[in-house]
Amino acid sequence: MTSLRFTEQPLSEWMSRGGNESEIVMSTRVRIARNLIHHPFPMLSTNQQSEEILSLMKDVLADEELKQFGKLIPVSMNELEELDKQILVEKHLISPSLANESRNGAAFISEDESLSVMVNEEDHLRIQCLYPGLQVQEAWEKAARVDDIFEKHVDYAFDANRGFLTSCPTNVGTGLRASVMMHLPALVLTQQINLILSAVSQVGLTVRGIYGEGSDAIGNLFQISNQITLGQSEAEIIENLYGVVLQIIEHEKNAREKLLHESRLRMTDRVMRSYGILSHAAIIDSKEAAQRLSDVRLGVDIGLIESLPAQVINELNVMTQPGYLRKQFGENLSPGERDMYRAKLIREKMGN
């Protein structure tokens, strides 16, 4: 098993395809959690039992129907260097739980990296689909098709009253987590973000940082996802998320127009200062880089910067992460050396 093709390139193929509302919605993700009946859940399973689950899942993944989603490349956590695991987490191809806590964990990842099937994570099976922009329905339909193929071969742990049974009670029911990654700099700058996010929490959704639960919303990136999995159907969860995201998009667009109308000179100054710092800095830490890249991305999206493709910012959001820097410039980099190489990489990329 190998993961080199996934850790050498910063930009996943699916990210370059574009999507609806892509100037605000960076990506859409749908994840389905499932467990097999008559098998201990991963946290209680022995090494032998987790090996049996992995062997069973490999057989299922050989199903001819799955070829419609492209070749699925197996990646064993036991055979993977810690640095490669970190990069896969940074690219959202695997979860931190699979990377750090799983027993006989593995991921089966499509060549374009839009589909990832995680085995022996917190649950026996987690099916994840990634799409660019706002494509919640499309991501759900793809995940559901993969789920249907698995269900032909294995029996899921299911209760007539509670739905699908999962290791974490918050996933019981549909086992569905749908989320969108949103870039909301104007709502932050106009100090509307807390009001918006408070309203979101009142309608069964939750807001997290770029790497999910417990992470910070660095670079004005916010992950909006469903909080309720029990008592709602999959269609209701998807519809609710989609409707709320459309409202947030509208608020962000209005905030951007307000900034341009009332504070165009200040906005231009902010964007160009960040552009200048990124283009010439000798050292820059990850937090400042994320904020400056957010400013520049806003400048690109509202037309203040015309010479820089948004895709360059997407690449830099991955390339400036600690794992990727260590992969490119040396595994034993000190924090100061990472800041130096991060600045060097940004200068070169923006210069090109």
Residue 90: CA count within 13 A, CB half-sphere: 26
Q: Is 28 annotated as a binding residue?
A: yes
What contacts 254, CB < 8 A, 6 or more positions away?
none
Mean of per-residue pLDDT scores for the chain: 91
Q: Is 208 annotated as a binding residue?
A: yes
How large is the average pLDDT for residues 216-239? 89
How large is the average pLDDT for residues 154-163? 93
Q: Is 117 annotated as a binding residue?
A: no
Residue 107 has a pLDDT of 96
The string of pLDDT tens digits covering residues 129-149 is 999 999 999 999 999 999 999
Is the pLDDT confidence value at 88 over 70? Answer: yes
Phi and psi based region of residue 283 (left: phi greater than 0; alpha: psi -120 to 50; beta: remaining): beta
Residue 202 has a pLDDT of 87
Residue 347 has a pLDDT of 95
Residue 143 has a pLDDT of 97
Q: In the chain, where does DSSP find H-type helix?
A: 4-8, 47-61, 82-90, 96-100, 136-151, 185-189, 193-201, 234-280, 286-301, 310-319, 322-329, 335-351
Is the pLDDT confidence value at 21 over 90? Answer: yes
pLDDT bin (cut points 50, 70, 90) of residue 4 is low
21 touches 133 (CB < 8 A): yes
Q: Is 177 annotated as a binding residue?
A: yes
Q: Is 271 annotated as a binding residue?
A: no
- What is the DSSP-derived secondary structure letter of residue 304? S
Burial of 122 (0-12, 13-18, 19+ CB in 10 A): buried
In the chain, pLDDT over 90 holds for what percent of residues?
A: 76
Q: Is 181 annotated as a binding residue?
A: yes
Is the pLDDT confidence value at 9 over 90? Answer: no
Residue 216 has a pLDDT of 60
The string of pLDDT tens digits covering residues 320-349 is 999 999 998 988 899 999 999 999 999 999
Q: Is 183 annotated as a binding residue?
A: no
Is the pLDDT confidence value at 13 over 50? Answer: yes
pLDDT bin (cut points 50, 70, 90) of residue 2 is very low
Is the pLDDT confidence value at 110 over 90? Answer: yes
In the chain, pLDDT over 70 holds for what percent of residues?
A: 96
Q: Is 210 annotated as a binding residue?
A: yes
Q: Is 338 annotated as a binding residue?
A: no
Give all domains of the chain, ordered by start, each with its CATH number: 1-173 (3.30.590.10), 263-351 (no CATH)
Q: Is 211 annotated as a binding residue?
A: yes
Distance separating alpha carbons of residues 164 and 175, to the nearest angstrom: 6
Q: Is 204 annotated as a binding residue?
A: no
Q: Is 29 annotated as a binding residue?
A: yes
Q: Is 119 annotated as a binding residue?
A: no
Q: Is 167 annotated as a binding residue?
A: no
Q: Is 212 annotated as a binding residue?
A: yes
How large is the average pLDDT for residues 39-60? 93
Distance separating alpha carbons of residues 351 and 312, to the nearest angstrom: 11
Is the pLDDT confidence value at 211 over 70? Answer: no
Alpha-carbon separation of residue 4 from 69, 73, 90, 111 (angstroms): 20, 11, 15, 12
The string of pLDDT tens digits covering residues 195-205 is 998 899 888 89
Residue 297 has a pLDDT of 96
